[in-house]
Chain A
Amino acid sequence: MIRVNIFGLLTGFLMLYLALAPEPWWVAKGGAGGEALHAYLSPFMFDLTILGKPVEIPIVYWLNLASRIAFVLAAIETIFISIIIYQEWCKSLLSLRALWASILFPIILAIGLKAAENLIGLSIPIYGEALLTYNLSIQDYTILSKMPIRTYFTPTFGLAVATGVISLFARGFHKVLVKTEPSIPST
């Protein structure tokens, strides 16, 4: 009888989708329809554009790539272990990276927004709407600018959270599968 860890399989394939799909987890849009500013962020994506020009931070590109590789590797391991049920210790190969990512991402985001507030004096909410006001001094003049901004977490982030929860079920189910048939199963 072929036994598979259905929760593990689901976790693995969802992690592959999350790592490879070009979907942000958090969006910020400023100005009319996001024309003045838009940010599309996830552990695998950093797209920040202000007044039509991109903001680039080189290390973020490489960290995004590293995150993508980490997720893909974890997904492959999870799918493999979900099909080939081995010993109890193999449970560690059922990845909780989606869970950690969905917990750490908003924390890192909040830290980044706080750092941006300290650096440029703009308080961008992690979720919701706000009116950002900014005084720019040029020579003897003061230019007062106001920009409405809206930020929100996307359904893809919700999917990441769900994947994290399912990965916990996958670990629990692995334990059950190993207990019910402790020897290495044959197909």
Chain B
Amino acid sequence: MLRVVEAILILSPVIYGLSLYGWSLQPMITPSYTPPKMSFSVGEVKPAYLEGVMVIYVSIANEGEVPVTVVDFKAPIIYKEERIGEALLKSPVNLPAGENATLIIVADIENATPLIKGMMQGDGSLELPGRVKVDVMGVTAEAPMNITVSTRKLVEASGGR
């Protein structure tokens, strides 16, 4: 008799829980999880020259709910389908949730000739088809990130020289 009473007491929470879900087991055993919103947008891309070195300032907005650190960015610099150099993130950038930051990308131009011609003609753009590495709460993730810089902006940055 004691065991019967004990069994009823032990099973009663499960039975009560089942009754709350309309006696259906499926909704009770189905895990539910709503991940935090993770969203970024790339804003203005502005090239500049600092002591003869081309840097590209990229505005980035964290529209998500979790803080992110942009740890690394690497990309070849492509101009009219020709690789002319390499771009690297200068230093990691912290990006709290809901805030903006600026990535500073250093462009190492190895073959400037086609670019200079293009700048004089004012056509084409630099493509940086790279991969960005981010840290989200200790999880590192790598994703593609493409940056485009028009030669018009390069000309403006160089002061029209």
Residues of A near any B CB (own CB < 8 A): 30-33, 35-36, 50-59, 61-63, 65-66, 69-70, 73, 141, 143-148
Bound-state Cα–Cα, A36 to B12, Å: 35
B-chain residues with CB within 8 Å of residue A65 when the two chains form the complex: 13
Residue of B nearest to A148 (CB): B138
Q: Could you tell me if B143 and A51 are in contact, using CB atoms closer than 8 angstroms?
A: no
A166 to chain B, nearest CB (A): 22
Give the one of B18, B32, B139, B144 with max A CB within 10 A. Answer: B139
* 10 pairs from A and B in contact (CB 8 Å cutoff): A31-B136, A32-B135, A50-B33, A51-B136, A51-B137, A53-B33, A55-B32, A55-B33, A57-B30, A147-B140
A36-B14 contact, Cβ under 8 Å, with A53-B33, A55-B33, A57-B29: no
Bound-state Cα–Cα, A31 to B135, Å: 9
A12 to chain B, nearest CB (A): 15
Bound-state Cα–Cα, A36 to B141, Å: 12
Bound-state Cα–Cα, A52 to B137, Å: 9
Top 10 closest pairs, chain A to chain B, by CB: A31-B138, A32-B138, A62-B17, A35-B137, A36-B137, A145-B141, A59-B28, A65-B13, A147-B139, A143-B143
Residues of B near any A CB (own CB < 8 A): 6, 9-14, 16-18, 21, 25, 27-36, 65-66, 135-144
A-chain residues with CB within 8 Å of residue B144 when the two chains form the complex: 141
B103 to chain A, nearest CB (A): 18
Residue of A nearest to B141 (CB): A145
B119 to chain A, nearest CB (A): 31
Give the dominant DSSP class at A's interface: mixed
B-chain residues with CB within 8 Å of residue A70 when the two chains form the complex: 6, 10
Bound-state Cα–Cα, A55 to B33, Å: 5
Bound-state Cα–Cα, A36 to B136, Å: 7
Q: Could you tell me if B13 and A145 are in contact, using CB atoms closer than 8 angstroms?
A: no
Bound-state Cα–Cα, A62 to B138, Å: 33
| Choice from B6, B25, B135, B138 contacting A73 with Cβ under 8 Å | B6
Bound-state Cα–Cα, A63 to B10, Å: 9
| Choice from B29, B137, B138 contacting A59 with Cβ under 8 Å | B29
B-chain residues with CB within 8 Å of residue A31 when the two chains form the complex: 136-139
Q: Could you tell me if A58 and B21 are in contact, using CB atoms closer than 8 angstroms?
A: yes
A-chain residues with CB within 8 Å of residue B36 when the two chains form the complex: 51-53
